[in-house]
Amino acid sequence: MLFIELRVPVGVFDEPARRRLAEQLTGRRLLSAESGTAGADPGVIDLFDSLTHVVVREEEVWVAGETPHDRAQRPWCVVNVIVGMWGKEMSEHLISRITEELAQATGASEPQVVVNVISVPEGGYGLYGRVHRSADVLQLIEEAKTGSAAPVPYDMIVDPVCGATVPLADAVILERDGRTYGFCCPHCRGHYVKQLREAEAS
């Protein structure tokens, strides 16, 4: 559900290097857990990875400020990430992970990277020939869940909608019938509440 466009100055990276850069920015790599932390549901990662596309483009003309790019210097990279939905909720994570992946790929401890996370408005995402709104995407996510065998640390909670494991301190909370539910974002919480209301009404 991501379209990732990496733009680099022409001639800085050969074709195998550009391919490696693209492989560093797959949905699986960007959305999987960092080392030592619990992560998202494996089935949901598979879904996101299957719907993520990465392109690397070389630019003939590149001027930063008033200075044309000099191949002797560290190259700038610009990454445009179009998020099917939830750009605001995902931006901090994506910016951090993309910068980390490009640092690893280029060998620079602080790569010169500009990341733009662009969210598609509700009703602006199409899949399989039809518009998919957030509820439709959340339904795909729920269907993709496989459950994780990894134990959940005491200070984390699993989102019952998307299967993401999130820090309890950052979770969007729902208290219901003496139970505490934690969600990765308000969209998942809203979807869960809507499902509960529909179940109660039937």
Which is more confidently placed, 7 or 187?
7
Q: Could you tell me the pLDDT band of residue 40, with boundaries at 50, 70 and 90?
A: confident
Provide the pLDDT for residue 54.
Answer: 96
For residues 125-153, average pLDDT: 85
| Token couple for 38 | 């619990």
Q: What is the predicted pLDDT for the residue at 35?
A: 40
Average pLDDT over residues 75-93: 86
User: Rounded CA gap, 8 and 24, in Å?
Assistant: 15
CB within 8 A of 45, min separation 6: which ones? 27, 28, 31, 32, 39
Res 84 pLDDT > 80: no
Residue-wise pLDDT tens digits, 52-64: 999 999 998 888 7
DSSP letter at 10 equals T
Query: Global pTM?
Result: 0.82
Instruction: Compute the mean pLDDT over every residue in the chain, rounded to the nearest whole number.
Output: 85
